[in-house]
Amino acid sequence: MLAPEDRRWTVVTLLSVALLFFSIPHVLEDFALGEPLKRGVPPAAIAFVVSVLLAAQGLGLHALGRRSVAGLGVHAGLGLLWAVAAGMAQLPELLQSTAYRSGVISAAYVIGVIGVGLALSVVSLLALLRSR
């Protein structure tokens, strides 16, 4: 059984991996369907932003592996950023009565990004507060 201190690091790590599980396919679907261009955003700009977010998440995972509180801070911010960005960009379309993109899977990716992102942010913040 893991000690409570170890459990916090493990939960944040697992939530981070879950966020990757939902965010990467969602972003790939965005590009496949031409969503950036539909919104007037150059795909290269979105690709750069997503690359920065994924690189930051990788560095945050590395910091978590070293038990650095910086990893908790990175994940608190990234979780909230992904959740807010996905919510603002996708929720209005998702809540319309018409079918969302490719159906249930597409909706699950968005809901996953929002839900896991919020959970990651909250759990990371709590772990950060407890580590001080």
Counting every residue written for the chain, the total comes to 132
pLDDT for 1: 62
- Tens-digit pLDDT profile for residues 13-56: 999 999 999 999 999 998 998 888 888 999 999 999 999 999 99
**Domain range enclosing 24:** 4-130
Measured CA distances, 13 to 9, 44, 71, 121 (Å): 6, 29, 9, 12
- Tens-digit pLDDT profile for residues 79-132: 999 999 999 988 888 888 677 777 888 889 999 999 999 999 999 999 999 987
Task: Give the total number of structural domains in the chain.
Answer: 1
pTM of the model: 0.91
pLDDT for 2: 63
Please give, one letter per residue, the 3-state secondary structure of 41-91.
CCHHHHHHHHHHHHHHHHHHHHHHHCCCHHHHHHHHHHHHHHHHHHHHHHH
pLDDT for 97: 65
